[in-house]
């Protein structure tokens, strides 16, 4: 498969899934239809925008290719209309979100590597792509980003990105490296989700 | 009128008006003079910075042309000194703000089109220019951005930007397209303000 | 001393010190190890990222040079393990932070001048570099940035940046200009810290 096409498909599916989750947050905050679209767009596109600005891939793909804009708009409208049904699928949403996370960390890392970043910063950019949209969404609704205190979320994304970009740097075919990174992130995230794994917290009293 | 000069004047007036509104928010939050200046600057320049970073028009005009920096500084100092008088003009502030919104959505969209973006993303960038500064200001003082849940604010900006960039793309003289977009946004926003129009909200219970 | 090497050393020490302060905030918010690293990284690198994106020095140094990434990671891990000891050094932390502020405002202003900005915007970028990371950190944990309402913090940074970039523009040797700017910011900030100096607040009732 052509790497560029692979990146496009990964990106669009990930954006749609993340935008659904973002739209649901907006509905629960009683935002209006514009707020639903903005939170869907921010969650779906925010991580990629942040990555593209940092690696100087501007204007971001979403401002050049209409499909990148259409994906979160459609997802937002779907959420606006069908949120009761979506809300009942909360558990499934967590799974979809894990798919988005795995897709984004791989797509983000490979794009950063493609723009000349070394393996370590490229892996970091993959993680940023995967968690940036959700962090921006949480900030917009006045919450401390869940990824900073909640279950294991960013670490699987970093691991998946590292596997993908490490394989790519080592000469493994792009598709194989992408699938391996995707699988590592997805499996780890799903295990964390169902087994309630958490990252370690500081020990001892937080001296104030 | 020369398009570049038109853009400059639109920009400066819009920045000043927005900066006044931002400074007032800072005064009401009991921030110090630096906080007043930062909120004035963020409200006045934030949307343009965001647009310029996304369309790769960096460094933003405000870092190259001193007039862009002077406008919010003067507005901030005016607010700092004259806030009681300004506060009594609250209703007028809403009208000024509508002017700023209409100016920014047109100026932002035309600049994005000038940098090669297609009509749809250029219109979106016009809206971002118009609402971005106010969103950043709200985030800085710990509020969910009003534009996500309040009255009709972003939609008139998007409409005005679309009219301006649509006319521009269709070959209408820049000044005519700009005035048409400006009028659409201004009238719609003022009607929304005085008739308390709101964007639709999701129906049904927000399943939690 | 070679100006490039001087900038590198200033940057790394400032990043490390700021990252320690950011990590401490995360520990006190009961964030997990990932949250500690993110807040350390944001505080240490956020101001520089913002400056680099605005002056188009992308990708930022931290994504190209591994030492820029290593500094906040090490600082974050040190905080995670040794936070009780660090917390007892609160007063010293304020002093370290003043050092970081003085280092960053000078390094940020000189880099902006090096990228062709005029003296006034370069000084502003120096201030942004110095206070941007702390502002981003405060936003991430849901606080109004302390710099907007607290003691004299941004003004010394702006003054130090202005002295450094003013000297540089006037042909003073880089090292001399840097030391003068550093000293101005450091002394002013330490005096403000120990004498509880504050920036003036608006007078009169905040009409609501």
DSSP string, B35-85: HHHHHHHHHHHHHHHHHHHHTT-PSPGGGT-HHHHHHHHHHHHHHHHHHHH
Distance, in angstroms, between B70 CA and closest chain A CA?
A: 27
The dihedral built from the CA positions of residue C185, C187, C190 and C192, taken in this order, carries a sign that is negative
- Torsion, Cα of A45, A46, A47, A53 (10° steps): 100
Distances in whole angstroms, Cα of residue B60 to Cα of each of A123, B142, B161? 29, 26, 20
Distance, in angstroms, between C32 CA and closest chain A CA?
A: 4
DSSP string, B90-113: HHHHHHHHHHHHHHHHHHHHHHHH
Beta-carbon count within 10 A of C56 CB: 18
Q: Are B45 and B22 in contact (CB under 8 A)?
A: no
Chain A positions touching C144 (Cβ under 8 A) are: none
Residue of chain C whose alpha carbon sits nearest to that of B138: C144
What six digits make up the tokens of B54?
């996304």
Q: C44-90, pLDDT tens digit by residue?
A: 999 988 899 888 887 888 888 888 889 999 999 999 888 888 777 77
Judged by average pLDDT, the poorest of B43-57, B168-182, B187-201, C71-85 is B187-201
Which of A156, A134, A155, A161 is CA-nearest to residue A145?
Answer: A134
Does residue A162 have a pLDDT over 90? yes
Q: Are A83 and B204 in contact (CB under 8 A)?
A: yes
Chain A positions touching B207 (Cβ under 8 A) are: 83-84, 87-88
CA distance A4 to C24: 42
CA distance A128 to A72: 19
Does residue B157 have a pLDDT over 90? yes
Domain locations along chain C: 3-195
Residue C116 contacts A, CB cutoff 8 Å: no
Question: Token pair 């991580």 is at which residue?
Answer: A47
Distance, in angstroms, between A139 CA and closest chain B CA?
A: 8
Which of A139, B168, A86, B33 is CA-nearest to residue C135?
Answer: A139
Residue B204 contacts A, CB cutoff 8 Å: yes
Backbone phi, then psi, for A204, in 5-degree steps?
80, 170
Residue C54 contacts B, CB cutoff 8 Å: yes
H runs (alpha helix) in C29-153: 33-54, 66-88, 90-114, 119-140
Comparing CB atoms, the residue among A30, A53, A140 nearest residue B53 is: A53
Tell if the CB–CB gap between B32 and C207 is shorter than 8 Å.
no
Query: What pLDDT score does B161 carry?
Result: 96
Q: Angle of helix A3-28 relative to helix A33-54, nearest 10 degrees?
A: 140
Mean pLDDT of the region C146-156: 83
Query: What pLDDT score does A208 carry?
Result: 45
Most confident range, picked from A138-142, A163-167, B136-140: A163-167
CB proximity list for C60: less than 8 A, separation 6 or greater:
A54, C45, C48, C49, C52, C53, C68
CA distance B164 to B39: 29
* Cα C102 from chain centroid (whole Å): 7
What six digits make up the tokens of B42?
């963020």
Judged by average pLDDT, the poorest of A41-45, A71-75, B94-98, B140-144 is B94-98
Question: Token pair 């219970």 is at which residue?
Answer: B205
Backbone phi, then psi, for A81, in 5-degree steps?
-85, -45
CA distance B155 to A116: 39
Tell if the CB–CB gap between C148 and B31 is shorter than 8 Å.
yes
Question: In whole numbers, what is the pLDDT of chain C averaged over residues?
Answer: 87
Q: Are C13 and C74 in contact (CB under 8 A)?
A: no
Chain A positions touching B144 (Cβ under 8 A) are: 29, 140-142
Backbone phi, then psi, for B97, in 5-degree steps?
-60, -40
Mean pLDDT of the region B152-176: 91
Judged by average pLDDT, the poorest of A182-196, B85-99, B168-182, C128-142 is B85-99
Residue C59 contacts A, CB cutoff 8 Å: yes
Query: What pLDDT score does C148 carry?
Result: 84
Chain C positions touching A201 (Cβ under 8 A) are: 30-33
CA distance C172 to C180: 10
Does residue B93 have a pLDDT over 70? yes
Mean pLDDT of the region C142-163: 87
Mean pLDDT of the region C127-146: 90
Query: What pLDDT score does C208 carry?
Result: 44
In this predicted complex, what is the ipTM? 0.81
CA distance A123 to A163: 8
Distance, in angstroms, between A54 CA and closest chain C CA?
A: 5
Tell if the CB–CB gap between A117 and C53 is shorter than 8 Å.
no
Query: What pLDDT score does B63 carry?
Result: 85
Query: What pLDDT score does B1 carry?
Result: 57
Mean pLDDT of the region B24-35: 87
Question: Token pair 């996500």 is at which residue?
Answer: B148
Backbone phi, then psi, for B133, in 5-degree steps?
-65, -45
Q: How confident is the model at residue B58 (pLDDT cuts 50, 70, 90)?
A: confident
Tell if the CB–CB gap between B60 and C54 is shorter than 8 Å.
yes
Query: What pLDDT score does B57 carry?
Result: 85
Residues 83-102 of A with CB under 8 A from B: 83-84, 87-88
Distance, in angstroms, between C202 CA and closest chain B CA?
A: 6
Residues 22-51 of C with CB under 8 A from A: 26-36, 38-39, 49
Which of A104, A113, A120 is CA-nearest to residue A49?
Answer: A104
Mean pLDDT of the region C175-188: 93
Q: How confident is the model at residue B122 (pLDDT cuts 50, 70, 90)?
A: very high
CA distance B178 to B199: 25
Question: In whole numbers, what is the pLDDT of chain B averaged over residues?
Answer: 87
Query: What pLDDT score does B208 carry?
Result: 45
Query: What pLDDT score does B202 carry?
Result: 77
Chain B contact partners (≥3 CB pairs within 8 A):
A, C
Residue A82 contacts B, CB cutoff 8 Å: no
Query: What pLDDT score does B21 carry?
Result: 87
Tell if the CB–CB gap between C64 and A121 is shorter than 8 Å.
yes
DSSP string, B121-188: HHHHHHHHHHHHHHHHHHHHTT---GGGTSBS-HHHHHHHHHHHHHHHHTT--HHHHHHHHHHHHHHH
Give strand pairing partners of B198: B151
Chain B interface, best mutation among C127, C148, C199, by max B CB count within 10 A: C148
Q: How confident is the model at residue B72 (pLDDT cuts 50, 70, 90)?
A: very high
Residue of chain B whose alpha carbon sits nearest to that of C198: B32
Beta-carbon count within 10 A of C87 CB: 18
Counted across chains A and C, CB pairs separated by less than 8 A come out at: 91
Mean pLDDT of the region B163-191: 93
Radius of gyration of chain A (CA): 17
Chain C positions touching A206 (Cβ under 8 A) are: 27-28, 30, 83, 87
Mean pLDDT of the region A66-82: 90
Residue C173 contacts B, CB cutoff 8 Å: no
């Amino acid at each position: 498969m052509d790497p560029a096409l692979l990146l496009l498909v990964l990106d669009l599916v990930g954006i749609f899934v993340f935008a659904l989750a973002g739209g649901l947050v907006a509905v629960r905050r009683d935002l209006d239809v514009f707020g639903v679209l903005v939170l869907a767009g921010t969650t779906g596109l925010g991580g990629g925008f942040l990555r593209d600005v940092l690696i100087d891939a501007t204007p971001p793909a979403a401002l050049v290719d209409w499909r990148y804009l259409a994906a979160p708009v459609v997802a937002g409208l779907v959420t606006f209309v069908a949120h009761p049904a979506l809300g009942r699928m909360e558990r499934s949403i967590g799974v979809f979100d894990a798919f988005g996370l795995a897709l984004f960390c791989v797509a983000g890392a490979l794009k950063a590597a493609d723009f000349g970043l070394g393996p370590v910063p490229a892996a970091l950019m993959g993680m940023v792509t995967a968690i940036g949209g959700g962090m921006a969404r949480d900030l917009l609704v006045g919450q401390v980003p869940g990824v900073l205190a909640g279950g294991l979320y960013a670490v699987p994304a970093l691991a998946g990105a590292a596997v993908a970009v490490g394989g790519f740097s080592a000469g493994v075919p792009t598709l194989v490296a992408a699938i391996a990174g995707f699988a590592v992130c997805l499996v780890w995230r799903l295990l964390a989700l169902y087994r309630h794994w958490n990252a370690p917290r500081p020990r001892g009293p937080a001296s104030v």
